[in-house]
Amino acid sequence: MEDIILVVNCGSSSLKLAVFDSHYNKVVSALAERLSTDDAFARFAGDEAPLSLPSGASHEAALQALIDALRARGILERDPVAIGHRVVHGGETFREAALLDDDAITAIRDCSGLAPLHNPVNLSGISATRALFPDVPQVAVFDTAFHQTLPPRAFHYALPEAYYRDWAVRRYGFHGTSHYFMTQEAARLLGITPAGTSIISAHLGNGCSIAAIRDGISVDTSMGLTPLEGLVMGTRSGDVDPGLFDFLAGKGISATELHEVLNKKSGLLGLSGQSNDMRSLCELADHGHKPSELAIDVFCFRLAKYIGSMMASLTRLNALVFTGGIGGNSARVRQQTLSHLRLLGFELDPELNQCNGLYSDGRIDSEGSRFPIMVIPTNEELVIAREALRLAETSQTV
């Protein structure tokens, strides 16, 4: 019987589960959503019918139901050989993935102040799988870890030094697992070693971030202390003037309210007044909806500015790489963004761009482009599965 690896990704109200075989082929995946509400449900990818979950099902209950269903399908007849968990914040403690022993779990809990919406829920997934599979090695893979190589000039805010010393206020960066995967894949497709690869990686999904990777390591990125900084996102504002807090306090809007607005009611949604979904906004803009056009314009211009700013951290560029639902699928966003950067010599091939690089090893640049431009589908679950098995094997050889 095949060895299998389980990958668990607990979001604030969702849970994603993926099962890989020992050749890293994905056997099955499932998604549970609206957890802890009356509408909680789960579904295996490719299935029409949802799996029934008890009303108000927690992350633990959803996990139990999914594991039971996997067993019923004969996929989990014996325990997995390793379990990998996505953990959002590893602070300065975790520079790479870690085996989950009691010390590691305490250290993740200690990082919760930096990611109060994420780390506690990641920990509940970890404790649930530890209870279900007490003998299986479990591994945490951190969104922040890949960016721990940022130099001080990139990770310090220009704030009183005591904020960093006493409260660890600094830029951390997120989506690290994706940016790491993009580096590996770009290297493979370009036929160079990852350690010799310098790219700008743009991960554009509901959350959006960009990273400069020099010789295989992350040297700058757009997200900061939290995933709110940087690019325009689905519902997040990205960069705003910090003076906004005081100005809006004068209008009666508290810091708590503004935090909620900046995270959940801004970005594409705030600007368009219609949707956080780029595909819908493109359709609306095509039908002459001006606010949607503006939202796309602000999104692309901010992204272009950040691509330019990432150049400050690089001495050469092997490729500009796009991924995520928007980065991977929207020819319009890529075209509009790069139209602002003609001075830097990025040139798209219109047809390859339209095909999302599908038939050209990811390449979408024209012959005259100064730099390769690529589209690469990201695969964070695969990285987590690989790391889980790698560390599980080391745990057994000690």
Nearer to ligand ADP, 129 or 378 (CB): 378
Question: Rounded to the nearest whole angstrom, what is the least distance from the CB of residue 277 to ligand ADP in the complex?
Answer: 4
Phi, psi of 300 (to 5 degrees): -70, -40
Residues in touch with ligand ADP (CB under 6 A):
205-207, 234, 277-279, 282, 324-326, 329-330
Rounded CA-CA distance 351/335 in Å is 11
Query: What are 7's two structure tokens?
Result: 């990958």
- Residues found in the chain: 398
Q: Which of 303, 138, 277 is nearest to 205 (CA)?
A: 277
Q: Which of 181, 169, 256, 268 is nearest to 218 (CA)?
A: 181
Nearer to ligand ADP, 4 or 31 (CB): 31
List all residues 6 or more positions away from 233 whose beta carbon is below 8 Å from its beta carbon: 206, 207, 208, 267, 268
Nearer to ligand ADP, 79 or 277 (CB): 277
Residue 220 CB burial class (10 angstroms; 0-12, 13-18, ≥19): buried
Q: Which of 255, 180, 119 is nearest to 127 (CA)?
A: 119
Question: Rounded to the nearest whole angstrom, what is the least distance from the CB of residue 281 to ligand ADP in the complex?
Answer: 8
DSSP bridge pairs for 212: 200, 220
Residue 286 CB burial class (10 angstroms; 0-12, 13-18, ≥19): exposed
Active site residue 143: yes
Nearer to ligand ADP, 100 or 232 (CB): 232
Question: Rounded to the nearest whole angstrom, what is the least distance from the CB of residue 276 to ligand ADP in the complex?
Answer: 7
Phi, psi of 251 (to 5 degrees): -95, 5
Nearer to ligand ADP, 313 or 378 (CB): 378
Question: Rounded to the nearest whole angstrom, what is the least distance from the CB of residue 205 to ligand ADP in the complex?
Answer: 3
Phi, psi of 201 (to 5 degrees): -115, 120
The tokens 């057994």 sit on which residue?
Answer: 396
Out of 39, 143, 246, 365, the active site residue is 143
Question: Rounded to the nearest whole angstrom, what is the least distance from the CB of residue 102 to ligand ADP in the complex?
Answer: 32
Would you please indicate which residues are annotated as catalytic (active-site) residues?
143
